[in-house]
Structure 1
Amino acid sequence: MNNERIAVVLNDLLHITNDRIAGFENVEGKVWESYSHLKGEYDHMISDSKIMKNELINLIQDRGGKADDSASTAGAIHRAWIDLKNSFPIGNKENSTLENVVYGEQNAINAYQEVLTNGELDPESTKVVSEHLRQLRESYTKFKKIEEYKKNS
């Protein structure tokens, strides 16, 4: 396996993880004021994301790569669009925000799954990325349930 290629792939996942953290920080105060009982789970997801980020950085550096600890341009554009959309006084901002979180989690799951399916990682990286994927799926399920609950309320 080529350590340089592995570092590139892991950097792509690092960008996604940074997008995820920035997205979660964007949600702060938009939904959780109304659903304060979910705040603990939300904080746990942010904490998990930061641990995932550090694990990816360590994997990249262990393979001789340089971690690009930034968010993606696409993620920044998406967050700006969401902020713009939420600035208009029409529609249910909480439902819209939750829909965007679910959308983002699904995209992260797809990216992580694709990396694992391509088989470009070494065994240690595969193990770590597989665990991250499990956590992403768990997070997606939680947010999806919240989204469905809110739609039915």
Structure 2
Amino acid sequence: MENQNEKSIANLKHLLSICNDGKEGYKTAAEDADSPELKTLFSMYSIQRAEYEMQLKKAIHQLGGDPDNETGGPVGALHRVWMDIKTAFTKNDDKAILSACLTGEHSALEAYDKELQDTGISPEIIEIIAEQRNGISDCIKNVESLKTQYSS
């Protein structure tokens, strides 16, 4: 049975994979969006996810884990979500891209909420996860607003 430290490392690696998928998804969205406003926004979110990755890698390292040594885990479902998003990008339809981004972000938010329920995580790591979760939540609100705007 794994100890709490190993469990925390595995959970952080899961979030790291999610952030990487989001970073790459937003990079693709920025390339494929028609609107200059969306290109800028998606680039900003890609950079934000890269910053989240750095924070998570640091936390994994502090726990004694190797953030670059991926062992897999429950990221297959999220990967499929981002693959669906990438498919939407091939249409170069800003509304479809926004919808796909929302799907990915809702999946990410779910994963973050699950990790925040882990009572064995240190307060410092909880703070990092909560801050990133709030950033994802803010992103969802912004993208939902833009989706409404682009639906008009």
Matched-pair contact (CA < 8 Å) for 2:29–2:42:
no
| Greater relative contact order (Cα < 8 A, sep 6+) | 1
Structure-to-structure mapping, 1:74-93, within 5 angstroms: 74-84=77-87, 87=90, 93=93
Task: Report the Cα offset of residue 39 of structure 1.
Answer: 3.7
Give the gaps of 5 or more residues in structure 1: none
1:123 matched to 2:123? The reply is: yes
**Aligned pair in 2 of structure 1 residues 3, 61: CA closer, same or farther (>3 Å)?**
same
**What residue is the counterpart of 2:41 in the other structure?**
41
Cα distance between partner residues in 1 of 2:145 and 2:100: 14
**What residue is the counterpart of 1:23 in the other structure?**
25
Cα distance between partner residues in 1 of 2:139 and 2:94: 18
What TM-score, normalized to structure 2?
0.83
What TM-score, normalized to structure 1?
0.82
Task: Report the Cα offset of residue 149 of structure 1.
Answer: 0.9
**Aligned pair in 2 of structure 1 residues 39, 28: CA closer, same or farther (>3 Å)?**
closer
Task: Report the Cα offset of residue 75 of structure 1.
Answer: 4.3
**What residue is the counterpart of 2:134 in the other structure?**
134
Q: Deviations over 1:63-92 (max 9, x none)?
A: 01111476944444444444445557xxx8
CA RMSD of aligned residues (A): 2.4
**What residue is the counterpart of 1:102 in the other structure?**
102
Give the gaps of 5 or more residues in structure 2: none
Task: Report the Cα offset of residue 136 of structure 1.
Answer: 0.6
Identity %: 21
Matched-pair contact (CA < 8 Å) for 1:13–1:112:
yes
Aligned residues: 147
Matched-pair contact (CA < 8 Å) for 1:14–1:68:
no
**Could you tell me which amino acid in structure 2 is paired with residue 13 of structure 1?**
L
